[in-house]
Amino acid sequence: MTHPKSLPSEPVGELFKAAFRAHPAGVSIVTAMGPEGAVGLTASSVASVAVDPPTLAFSVTGGRSASHIAAAQTIVVHLIGADHLDLARTFADPGAPRFTDGMEWELLPTGEPLLTEAAWALRCEIIHRAPLGGSVLLAARVLEIRATPSGSAPLIYHNREFHTLLEGIPALG
């Protein structure tokens, strides 16, 4: 151990944004039925929390879709591969039309919108909501899972761009 050293006192907000821009993340689309119809958004914060019972967490920030998802009792979390980059882009753009006739989706008998092309669709009940600085951190219990394996490469969000991960290039030790 060397001598103690302070962290520098640079503006934390800008450094925070730069740190997470450089932090890669998987890509999900979260949908719900809101009071005005189906809503959805692309999220890069979905993570597994517990396996028994299956529980995941993510956060949403601002906007109509975010507030309707945060208020929903049940949601569908779609984990997205590189073959559905178009869906990830559509739901990342608040101005893009969603749930159009040209989009592969349907309503589940339980009422939530399902994007039928997604490799994984997890129907969840929101069990915890924590408002934090203009965002809401949500935890959700997974009720049902639809798997549609496509063999697609994974989709990764990094430095404000979508990337694919080339299989067979593990990091060297």
The CB density around residue 85, as the number of other CB atoms within 10 Å, is 16
Q: Is 63 in the site for a copy of itself (CB under 8 A)?
A: no
Beta carbon nearer to a copy of itself, 34 or 108: 108
**161 membership: H or E segment, kind and range:** strand 161-164
Q: Is 92 in the site for a copy of itself (CB under 8 A)?
A: no
Write down the least CB distance from residue 64 to a copy of itself, Å.
Answer: 18
Helix, strand, or coil (residue 40): strand
**CA–CA separation, 17 vs 87, rounded Å?**
25
**CA–CA separation, 117 vs 115, rounded Å?**
6
Beta carbon nearer to a copy of itself, 32 or 121: 121
16-35 residues near a copy of itself, rule: CB under 8 A: 16-20, 22-26, 28
Which of 47, 59, 46 is closest to 137 using CA atoms? Answer: 59
Q: Is 95 in the site for a copy of itself (CB under 8 A)?
A: no
Q: Which one of 29-37, 63-71, 90-98, 153-161 is the stretch in contact with a copy of itself (CB under 8 A)?
A: 153-161
Q: Is 1 in the site for a copy of itself (CB under 8 A)?
A: yes
In whole angstroms, how far apart are CA 164 and each of 42, 82, 92?
A: 16, 6, 17
* Interface map 113-152 toward a copy of itself (x if CB under 8 A): -x-x--xxxxx---xx-x-xxxx-x-x--xxxxxx-----
Q: Is 67 in the site for a copy of itself (CB under 8 A)?
A: no
